[in-house]
Amino acid sequence: MSVTINARQLQLLLDKIANHMGSEYTEALHGIRLDIDTKYLYAVASDRFTIAAARYQLSANDQPQEPWARTIPGAYLRSIREWIDTMKGAGLITISAAKDRLLFEGPQTDLSITVSTSLEFPDWRGVLRKHVEDAANGTSFPALNSSFLARFNNGDVLRARMTADDKPLLVFANDFLGAQMPVRHAGIYPCKDESFTDAHQDWLWTLAAGSKAADLDDPVFAEEDRSRYDVTTDVRETGETLLHTALLSVWDMNGKSKDKPDEFLAHCLSAVHAWMAHRYLDALYNADPRAAQAVVAETAGDLEDGEIGEFAWEAAEKAGFDPQKWHDDYEARKAEQAAAAA
């Protein structure tokens, strides 16, 4: 169970789909799927919102063999990338799978990583097959430069409308309008598939192995499991957490804690502060989505560090307040309560 590919091609294969890899909160998608059939080596990734597959045609020496697939965990991708960088582009790498390991054998050194064979990866062939076949009824199939598409990554939620093959792609958002011209076919930017029919035929071998019933409602694409993690760097998920916390605190506040003043006050403060934080985040996002994303990411880093007390103390001093007085007042209040209880 092995395939051979040169270092440069493996590097390109991984780089093409790396941006589509899921976060650590969805273990099955947090990595790159290496999928081998009798004709191609594929690299596949999905973050639940996008899915992408890149392929490399195997040489005659790699055939025939039984298809196999393993997911490279996201934690190992940097090590693999750095290992590939140590060799010449033409250097051959043999990739083999055995039980719970993937072995990369190079001209000078080898790299072995542990993988999980129990994680279910979505039927990516089926998901893409369904949408490619649905798109076969359309007529427009312009060629677009992906580096230009990246210029529209401005933090907005975009809507797009394809007009015709030789006409621009229109992009709309609140207070934003843009267009991207298609690549001109004059030999300068060659495009292998001149029509959708050509492209469809070129991928029939791959997509035919996918289920016609597969779609993005696969359970693996379900909401991320946060049971093992506490912090998110995503604005929308942060907003959801704040709203969820506010409601939970209100429900607890109106529940059994009514008869316990300390618990009631704690739930009340939690609900109030979660709602305030959500309103502030929502206002910031509407004013400047990129600033909101930066604040959420930086705050997530603070929470991961766990030194909230130290950060809050420094922030209070920087703002001109007196956290030492707050602390002294807090200790005095505790002493009064202890004396009263005695």
> Is the pLDDT at 275 greater than 90, yes or no?
yes
How confident is the model over 204-214, as pLDDT tens digits?
A: 888 888 888 77
Please give the tally of structural domains in the chain: 3
Q: What is the pLDDT of residue 229?
A: 46
Task: Categorize the per-residue pLDDT at 338 as very low, low, confident or very high, splitting at 50, 70 and 90.
Answer: confident
Claim to verify: residue 9 and residue 107 sit in the same structural domain: yes
Quote the CA–CA distance of 198 and 113 in Å, as a whole number.
38
Q: Which residues pair with 319 in a beta bridge?
A: none
Q: Residue 90: which residues within 8 A CB-CB, separation 6 or more?
A: 6, 7, 8
> Are 89 and 7 spatial neighbours (Cβ–Cβ below 8 Å)?
yes
Which of 167, 194, 221 represents a domain boundary (last residue)? Answer: 194
Claim to verify: residue 98 and residue 18 sit in the same structural domain: yes
Note whether residue 223 is domain-resident.
no
Note whether residue 190 is domain-resident.
yes
Backbone φ and ψ for 121, nearest 5 degrees, come out as -95, 145
Claim to verify: residue 58 and residue 21 sit in the same structural domain: yes
Q: Between 277 and 213, whose confidence is greater?
A: 277
Task: Categorize the per-residue pLDDT at 113 as very low, low, confident or very high, splitting at 50, 70 and 90.
Answer: very high
Query: Which of these ranges, 24-33, 195-204, 214-223, 328-337, has the smallest mean pLDDT?
Result: 214-223
Longest CA span, the chain: 90
State what percent of residues in the chain have pLDDT above 70: 89
| Structure tokens belonging to residue 199 | 């492209």
Note whether residue 132 is domain-resident.
no
Q: What is the pLDDT of residue 309?
A: 86
Query: Which of these ranges, 73-82, 167-176, 317-326, has the smallest mean pLDDT?
Result: 167-176
Mean pLDDT in the chain?
A: 83
Claim to verify: residue 292 and residue 190 sit in the same structural domain: no
Note whether residue 158 is domain-resident.
yes
Claim to verify: residue 109 and residue 146 sit in the same structural domain: no
Note whether residue 215 is domain-resident.
no
Question: H/E/C letters for each residue in the chain?
Answer: CEEEEEHHHHHHHHHHHHHHCCCCCCHHHCEEEEEECCCEEEEEEECCCCEEEEEEECCHHHCCCCCEEEEEEHHHHHHHHHHHHCCCCCCEEEEEEECCEEEEECCCCEEEEECCCCCCCCCHHHHHHHHHHHHCCCCCCCCCCHHHHHHHCCCCCCEEEECCCCCCEEEEECCEEEEECCCCCCCCCCCCCCCHHHHHHHHHHHHCCCCCCCCCCCHHHCCCCCCCCCCCCCHHHHHHHHHHHHHHHHHHHCCHHHHCHHHHHHHHHHHHHHHHHHHHHHHHHHHCHHHHHHHHHHHHHHHHHCCHHHHHHHHHHHCCCCHHHHHHHHHHHHHHHHHHHC
Q: State which residues form the domain around 250.
A: 235-341
Claim to verify: residue 69 and residue 163 sit in the same structural domain: no
Nearest to 141 by CA among 128, 129, 132, 150: 132
> Are 64 and 38 spatial neighbours (Cβ–Cβ below 8 Å)?
yes
Task: Categorize the per-residue pLDDT at 227 as very low, low, confident or very high, splitting at 50, 70 and 90.
Answer: very low
Q: Residue 43: which residues within 8 A CB-CB, separation 6 or more?
A: 13, 14, 16, 17, 32, 33, 34, 35, 53, 54, 55
Greatest mean pLDDT among 22-26, 67-71, 299-303 lies in 67-71
Task: Categorize the per-residue pLDDT at 225 as very low, low, confident or very high, splitting at 50, 70 and 90.
Answer: low
Note whether residue 212 is domain-resident.
no
Query: Which of these ranges, 21-35, 171-185, 273-287, has the smallest mean pLDDT?
Result: 171-185
Q: Residue 14: which residues within 8 A CB-CB, separation 6 or more?
A: 32, 43, 77, 80, 81, 84
Claim to verify: residue 184 and residue 280 sit in the same structural domain: no
Note whether residue 58 is domain-resident.
yes
Task: Categorize the per-residue pLDDT at 203 as very low, low, confident or very high, splitting at 50, 70 and 90.
Answer: confident
The gap from C-alpha 242 to its chain's centroid, in whole angstroms, comes to: 21
Task: Categorize the per-residue pLDDT at 228 as very low, low, confident or very high, splitting at 50, 70 and 90.
Answer: very low
Task: Categorize the per-residue pLDDT at 171 as very low, low, confident or very high, splitting at 50, 70 and 90.
Answer: confident
Claim to verify: residue 78 and residue 164 sit in the same structural domain: no
Note whether residue 65 is domain-resident.
yes
Claim to verify: residue 257 and residue 334 sit in the same structural domain: yes
Which of 114, 129, 150 represents a domain boundary (last residue)? Answer: 114
The domain spanning residue 35 has which CATH number? 3.10.150.10
Q: What is the pLDDT of residue 105?
A: 94
> Is the pLDDT at 250 greater than 80, yes or no?
yes
Claim to verify: residue 239 and residue 332 sit in the same structural domain: yes
Q: Which residues pair with 98 in a beta bridge?
A: 101
Claim to verify: residue 10 and residue 102 sit in the same structural domain: yes
Claim to verify: residue 7 and residue 109 sit in the same structural domain: yes
Quote the CA–CA distance of 121 and 69 in Å, as a whole number.
9
> Is the pLDDT at 257 greater than 70, yes or no?
no
Burial-class residue 17 by CB neighbours within 10 Å (0-12, 13-18, 19+). Answer: buried
